[in-house]
Amino acid sequence: MNTHSNMLSQKSDISCYPIKNKGFVFLDTLFRESGWHIIKNEENWLVYTKQGFETEFVEIKIGIDCIFVSVPIKNSPFQFKTSFSNYFQASEYVEARFNEFIK
């Protein structure tokens, strides 16, 4: 079983807990209000997906000097990955790409 599958099996255990990284609390609210749930909730690693669409996910990893994000590409089995130097840029990018994706 791969890491992503392991995270999915833990969904019911962690999806009801508050987000550990408060820098992304706005995104957490956006995802939850859109029917997505958190499957990885660590201070430096967040992953969200939607029940029944587990191959579509948003991932945020906080590194030493940058924030890596991975977002699904609409009508594609692929993810787009990029990085940012601060929380604000990463959050704005993820919000915009997520809103485009769910429309």
pLDDT one-digit tens code per residue, 34-80: 999 999 999 999 999 999 999 999 999 999 999 999 999 999 999 99
Domain parsing of the chain, residue ranges: 3-102
- 67 φ, ψ (degrees, to nearest 5): -115, 120
Q: What is the per-residue pLDDT across 9-32, written as a single tens digit (0 to 9) for each?
A: 444 456 678 899 999 999 999 999
Could you tell me which residues come within 8 angstroms of residue 68 by beta carbon, excluding any fewer than 6 positions away?
59, 60, 61, 62, 81, 82, 83
